[in-house]
């Protein structure tokens, strides 16, 4: 004879068990989902960090050894060293005296001794046009760094950053970085160990032909540059963000010190005299 105590689960007990199991499954599912989302976010953020560090590495390496830097902002204004008017982009023979350059430190504008404003007074590139200002214009700020209110340098969005540096006494290299703030893409072009380097305009043209081979990143959501001529330093502020998965991003705010601190300011021993 079977015992009445072995009659099995009642309907109520079965329903309670199913409810408890359902709650446990929902908790496990939520935990797994949360873990996967956290892992994906960490992976995407790490991807953005790696991308930002790779871009910064290439920019900082060129900036540190620069002998000449020119930055064109997205509004068409070019920022140049004080010796802009005397700078030559070739190894031609010196045949004339350097032109006098007067820098208006309140505006960053450049003039010759007849008080004619550059580039109309003549520049290192024939046909150079547009507004040209000394890097000193970026030391008079209206925008403070969020993380360091004590630094008051003006940030601009660069369209092009042109950098020249020496390999040896007779070999030069150049690199130009281009930023498209609509497509959020950054490109790079350049050549190594040349007898002479191209003009700024020619360098821009070379950048336009690199295509996807010269693409550095498609995730540059924001890019700002500032320059402190007195310290010989260039500040880079970047925000990289995955365009598909919003919220996955990495911010970078770094300052690069140029080895030759005279590059951004006028120094008699650095004036380049235009040749024939």
**pLDDT at position 188, please?**
93
Per the structure, the count of domains in the chain is: 2
Residue 148 and residue 36 in one domain: no
The pLDDT score that the predictor gives to residue 8 is 61
The answer on 79 and 30 residing in a single domain is no
Closest by CA position to 164, among listed 100, 93, 84, 229: 84
Q: Where are the alpha helices (DSSP H) in 108-228?
A: 200-207
**Shared domain check, 74 and 36:** no
The reply to whether 18 and 82 lie within a common domain is no
The Cα–Cα gap between 19 and 24 comes to: 9
Do the Cβ atoms of 93 and 192 come closer than 8 Å?
no
Helix intervals (H) in 65-186: none
Q: Would you say residue 4 lies in a domain? A: no
Residues 81 and 158 in one domain: yes
Residue span of the structural domain in which 15 resides: 10-40
Q: List the one residue out of 120, 143, 141, 115 whose CA is nearest residue 131.
A: 120
Position 122 scores a pLDDT of 61
pTM: 0.74
By CB atoms closer than 10 A (0-12, 13-18, 19+), residue 113 is exposed
Residue 211 lies inside a defined structural domain of this protein: yes
Give yes or no: residues 16 and 110 share one domain.
no
Residue 254, CB-side half-sphere exposure with 13 Å CA sphere: 17
Query: pLDDT in tens for each of the 276 residues of the chain?
Result: 455 555 566 777 777 778 888 888 888 777 777 776 666 776 777 888 899 999 999 999 999 999 999 999 998 899 988 877 665 433 344 445 566 777 887 788 888 777 888 777 665 554 566 788 888 888 754 444 444 555 556 889 999 999 998 888 788 899 999 999 999 999 999 888 788 888 888 888 888 777 777 899 999 999 999 998 888 999 999 999 987 777 788 899 999 999 987 888 754 333 333 333
**Looking at the structure, do residues 106 and 27 belong to the same domain, yes or no?**
no
- Return the bridge partners of 5, or none: none
């Amino acid at each position: 004879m079977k015992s009445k105590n072995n009659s099995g689960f009642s309907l109520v007990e079965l329903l309670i068990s199913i409810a408890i199991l359902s709650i446990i499954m929902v908790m496990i599912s939520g935990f797994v989902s949360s873990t996967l989302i956290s892992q994906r976010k960490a992976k995407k953020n790490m991807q953005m960090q790696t991308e930002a560090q790779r871009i910064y590495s290439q920019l900082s390496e060129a900036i540190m050894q620069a002998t000449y830097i020119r930055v064109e902002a997205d509004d068409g204004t070019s920022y140049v060293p004080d010796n802009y008017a005397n700078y030559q982009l070739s190894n031609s023979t010196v045949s004339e005296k350097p032109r006098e350059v007067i820098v208006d430190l309140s505006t960053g504008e450049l003039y010759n001794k007849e008080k004619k404003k550059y580039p109309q007074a003549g520049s290192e590139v024939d046909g150079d046009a547009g507004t040209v200002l000394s890097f000193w214009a970026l030391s008079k700020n209206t925008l403070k760094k969020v993380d360091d209110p004590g630094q008051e340098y003006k940030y601009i969005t660069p369209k092009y950053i042109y950098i020249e540096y020496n390999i040896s006494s007779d070999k030069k290299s150049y690199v130009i970085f281009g930023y498209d703030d609509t497509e959020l893409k950054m490109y790079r072009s350049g050549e190594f160990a040349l007898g002479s380097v191209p003009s700024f305009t020619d360098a821009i043209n070379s950048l336009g032909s690199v295509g996807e081979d010269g693409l550095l990143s498609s995730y540059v959501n924001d890019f700002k540059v500032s320059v402190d001529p007195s310290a010989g330093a260039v500040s880079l502020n970047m925000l990289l963000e995955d365009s598909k998965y919003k919220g996955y991003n990495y911010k970078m705010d770094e300052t690069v010190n140029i080895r030759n601190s005279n590059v951004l300011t006028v120094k008699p021993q650095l004036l380049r005299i235009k040749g024939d």
